[in-house]
């Protein structure tokens, strides 16, 4: 029970990687506050999760929503030990010159400003518990990706933000880390796949970019997240942990051959 009696504030925890994390965290003994902006996904997640779970309908890009969500979580559970900033979007799959201003702003507001909002309103709770923050990044934040410039830029920002936050909050005993998957089969990845020039080859491409030979489900990332938010990782901070099956070792070569 690595997370026994811990309270985790998890954004985007109703589907994809976030939902896999919710299941793993709950199994490890945590109490969950799950934030989503989708009423339907909340309903579906609530039917599958057991135990004491608080669901909050809120948008991470809206400061007032996050202030309310943090306050409600702290009131309900009496503490917050972990903030896992998992909420994110990947649309659109476009080059920079094809990306509209609205699309650009939406990506940064959710993927980057969302972290700012949860930290701004949640940091005092984490100071009380000497808790930690985990951000869900992506391998593309380090190496880039074709026709996905704005998304890659947000994840590069997440990586830099993670390292700077680790330095800022270390004096309070607060660790800040990130996980950086490559391909992971989630609803978001499936949507991205449909936007590619030749969507029929994407499944094979996603298998081949990973040195281990397959594109995984979200549980492999959830297991890494469990480690990072637990006391097992008590001396790790400022880490951008690849959960990539070795994709970065041959990623550019495979991209050039496949797309």
Distance CA 181, CA 141 (A): 10
Query: Which entry of 25, 151, 169, 251 is annotated as an active-site residue?
Result: 151
240-243, strands of its sheet edge to edge: 53-57, 31-36, 7-11, 82-85, 132-136, 175-181, 240-243
Burial class (CB in 10 A: 0-12, 13-18, 19+), 235: exposed
25 among known catalytic residues: no
Rounded to the nearest angstrom, the gap between the alpha carbon of residue 61 and the centroid of all alpha carbons in its chain is: 14
- With contact defined as beta carbons under 8 Å apart, do 198 and 230 qualify? no
The structure tokens 């504030």 sit at: 9
Contact status, residue 227 vs residue 165, Cβ threshold 8 Å = no
Tokens 């109490």, residue located: 31
Catalytic residues: 151
């Amino acid at each position: 029970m690595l997370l026994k009696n811990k309270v985790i504030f998890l954004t985007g925890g109703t589907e994809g990687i976030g939902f896999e994390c919710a299941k793993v965290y709950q199994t490890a003994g945590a109490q969950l506050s799950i934030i989503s902006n989708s009423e339907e996904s909340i309903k579906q997640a609530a039917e599958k999760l057991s135990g004491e779970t608080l669901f909050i309908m809120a948008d991470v890009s809206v400061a007032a929503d996050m202030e309310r969500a943090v306050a409600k979580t702290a009131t309900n559970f009496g503490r917050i030990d972990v903030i896992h900033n998992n909420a994110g979007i990947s649309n659109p799959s476009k080059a920079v010159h094809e990306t509209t201003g609205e699309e650009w702003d939406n990506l940064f507001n959710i993927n980057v400003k969302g972290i700012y909002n949860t930290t701004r309103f949640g940091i005092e709770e984490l100071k009380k518990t000497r808790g930690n923050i985990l951000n869900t990044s992506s391998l593309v934040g380090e190496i880039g990706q074709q026709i996905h410039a704005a998304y890659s830029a947000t994840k590069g920002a997440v990586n830099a933000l993670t390292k700077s936050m680790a330095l800022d909050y270390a004096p309070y005993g607060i660790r800040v880390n990130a996980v950086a998957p490559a391909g992971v089969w989630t609803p978001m990845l499936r949507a991205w796949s449909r936007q590619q020039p030749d969507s029929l080859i994407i499944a094979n491409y996603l298998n081949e970019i990973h040195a281990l030979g397959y594109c995984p489900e979200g549980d492999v990332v959830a297991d890494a997240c469990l480690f990072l938010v637990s006391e097992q990782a008590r001396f790790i901070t400022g880490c951008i942990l690849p959960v990539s099956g070795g994709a970065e070792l041959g990623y550019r070569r495979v991209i050039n051959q496949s797309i």
